[in-house]
Amino acid sequence: MEFFERFAIPHPSPAIYASMVAIGLVTIAIIFGLTYFKKWGYLWREWLTTVDHKRLGIMYLISAILMLFRGGADAIMMRAQLAAPENKLLDAQHYNEIFTTHGVVMILFMAMPFIIGFMNFVVPLQIGARDVAFPRLNALSFWLFFAGAMLFNISFVIGGSPDAGWTSYFPLADNEFSQSVGTNYYMIAIQIAGLGTLMTGINFMTTILKMRAPGMTLMKMPMFTWSALIANVIIVFAFPVLTVALAMGTLDRLFGTHFFASTNGGMDMLWANLFWVWGHPEVYILILPAFGIYSEVISTFARRNLYGYKSMVASMVIISLLSFLVWVHHFFTMGQGALVNSIFSITTMAIAVPTGVKIFNWLFTLYKGKIEVTTPMLYSMLFIPLFTIGGVTGVMLGMSAADYQYHNTMFLVAHFHMVIIPGVVFAMLAALFYYWPKMFGFMLNEKLGKLGAWVIAIGTLLAFMPMFFSGLDGQARRMYTYSESSGFGIWNMISFVGALGLAIGFALIVYNIYYSFRYASRDIGSDPWDARTLEWATHTPVPEYNFATMPQIESVEPFWDDKKNGKKLFKDKIEKIHMPNNTGIPFIMGVLFFIWGFSFIFAMWIPLIIFTLAIFGCMAYQSFENDHGRYISVEEVEETENKLGGKR
C-alpha cells in the first residue's frame, strides 16, 4: 500500500470528497453524451485535431471561462472564511491551499488563455492573414497549456494542492515545509503550460512581423495587433526565466539540490528575484492586450478614429521596456538597502506615465465622439475610473518607504485586484461581447449584458475597496482568521457581499449565453457593430481561409475607408488557396505531457522515461512527416463565398 498512499489527500475535507464525486459524475456524463449522440468522430475531426486559429482561439476561451469559475469558487470560499471573526468554515491548511490555487488558476489558467484566445481568433483576421505562421505549433501550444491546466487542477483530489502561495517562495516551498506533492504540481504543471505560452510568443511574433496583408506597414496595424506583438515580445523574454526558475525548484524538491535552500550555499532570495523578473512583466503580458481591446472597442463605439495612435504605440513600447526594470518593488521589505529600493521606486512610478498617456488618449477619443453605449462600451467606460483607483494605489505601493506599511497587508491585495479585474477581466468580457457575433453568428442580449456589467462593477467595488481600509488598519494578507477585537469584521463582511455580487454577475453572463443561444436572431450580417478594422471585413461565420482574396491596405482603418470613403479593399481575383492539414500529433503530445508530468510529480521514474521517449518520438515523426498541406480550389472558394453572401 505504500505506493498508493502517495496519491492520497493529506488534508481531506467533505468539500474535497464532494469534488471527487462531482468530477467522476461529470466525466461519466461527458463520455455517455459523446457516445449516445455519436460525436466522437466529430470531436476528433473538427476540434481535437484542428490547426485552425479560430477554433483554437475558441477552445482557449472555453478553457478560460471554465477556469474563471474554478478560481471563482476558491475566491468565494476565502471570502466566506474571512466574512466573520474566528470563523471555522476552513482550517488553516485548506485556506492555504485555496489561496495558492486561486492565484495560479486566475493568472495563468484564466487570464492568460483569455488573452491568447482573443489573439488567436482576432490577430490573423486583423492583419489579413489566412492563419498563423506555424499552425501546428499553435495547436501544440494550446494542448500543452491545457495539459498543464488539467494537471494542476487534479492536484486537490490526487496527492494534495500546493500550499506555499501563488508565488511559492522558498524555503516555504521546499520539502521541509511543503511535504506533500502539491508544490511538485505547481512546478511541473506551470512548466508544461509555460512551454506552450513560449511557443505562442514565438508564433505570434512571426505571424505579425511576416504575414501582414499587402500595404499593412507596422504603423498601419490595428491597436490590438500592436498590443499583441508587444505582449508576445515580453513573453519571449520573460517566460524562459520562469522556465529556468521552475526547473531549479523541481531539482531542489525531487533531486536534493540546494539552489533555493537557506543552507548548503542555497539562496532563497534567488527564487524571489527569478520569479518576479518573470512575474512583473507577466502583469503587462495580461494588461497590454487588454489595452488593445479597449482601444478597438472605444474607437468603434465613439464612432471616431483612435486619438493619438503614435503615442499609444510609443507608450506600449515604453511600458514593455520598463516592465523588466521594476521587479524589486515586490520585495522592498526584504533587505536590499536604501539605494536599490530608491532606484526601483523611481522606475515603478515612471511606468505610471505611459499608462496615464493611454488613459488620456481614450478620454480624448471619447471627447466629442458620437458615443453608443453597448455592453462592450459599458465595460470599457467602467474600466477607466476603476482601473485608475488600482493604478494610483500602485504608485503608493511603489514608494519604498511607504511600502513598509502597505506590504503584506490587504491593501496590496486590493490594489492588485483593482488593477487586474477592471484592467484585464473587464477587457476580456468586453471582447467576449464584441467578438461573440463574429465567432458564433449571433449577438448576446444587450439588456442582460449591461445588467451583468453593472453588477460586476458594483461587486468589484464592494469586494475590494474595503480591503484598502482593513489593510491600512493592519490586516495581514494570507491569514485565515482574526479576532473580533481587531475590528476587521465589518470590512470583510462587505467584501464577502461584493464577492457574491461578482458571482451573480458572472452567472448572469452564463444565463445570457444560454438565453441568446436560444432566442437571438441569426440574421446579423458580417458587421453588426459598424466596426472599423479588418476582422469585420470577412464573412460570418468566418470561412476556413478567412479571406477569399488578400485585402489591400492603404490606411490604419482600411475597412472603414472601404465602407465610408469608397476605397476598395479587395481588388484581386480569386485563386486557389493553400491551407494546412489537420493533425492529431499536438493533441497526442498534450496527453503524453500530462502523463509525463504526473509521473514526474510522483517520482515514478520508469513511466517518466517511457513517456519522455514517446514525446521525442512524436517530435521525430512530426519532423520527418512529408505533409505539404492542401489547396482549396477556386470553385470551392467561389461556392463558399456565394453561400456566405458573395466575395468580400
Q: How far apart are the C-alpha atoms of 480 and 82, rounded to whole Å?
A: 7
What's the grid cell of residue 97? 491551499
Note the pLDDT of residue 60: 97
Helix runs in 154-267, H state only: 182-210, 223-255
Residue 286 carries which side chain, given as an amino acid letter? L
pLDDT tens digit sequence for 541-589? 899 999 999 999 988 888 998 888 878 888 878 899 999 999 999 999 9
Q: How far apart are the C-alpha atoms of 152 and 146, rounded to whole Å?
A: 10
CA-to-CA dists, residue 85 to 92, 412, 492, angstroms: 14, 21, 9
The SS3 call for residue 630 is: strand
Report yes or no: 279 and 190 within 8 Å, Cβ to Cβ: no
**Average pLDDT of the chain?**
93
pLDDT confidence tier of residue 647, bands split at 50, 70 and 90:
low
Domains in the chain (CATH in brackets) are 8-288 (1.20.210.10)
The SS3 call for residue 351 is: coil
Section 196-205 average pLDDT: 97
Contacts of 628 (CB under 8 A, 6+ apart): none
What is the enclosing helix (H) or strand (E) of 525? none
CA-to-CA dists, residue 157 to 75, 118, 182, 493, angstroms: 18, 31, 11, 30
Q: How far apart are the C-alpha atoms of 527 and 438, rounded to whole Å?
A: 8
Determine if residue 533 is left, alpha or beta; phi over 0 gives left, psi from -120 to 50 gives alpha, anything else beta.
Answer: beta
Q: How far apart are the C-alpha atoms of 45 and 273, rounded to whole Å?
A: 45
Strand partners, 630: 579
Q: What is the pTM of this model?
A: 0.96
What's the grid cell of residue 68? 474563471
pLDDT tens digit sequence for 298-325? 999 999 999 999 999 999 999 999 999 9
What is the b/e burial string over 578-587, where b = at least 16 CB atoms within 10 angstroms of the residue's CB?
ebbebbebbb
User: For 45, which DSSP code?
Assistant: I
Whether the predicted pLDDT of 153 surpasses 90: yes
pLDDT tens digit sequence for 29-81? 999 999 999 999 999 999 999 999 999 999 999 999 999 999 999 999 999 99
Q: How many CB atoms lie within 10 A of CB 443?
A: 19
What's the grid cell of residue 481? 482568521
Q: How far apart are the C-alpha atoms of 288 and 424, rounded to whole Å?
A: 9
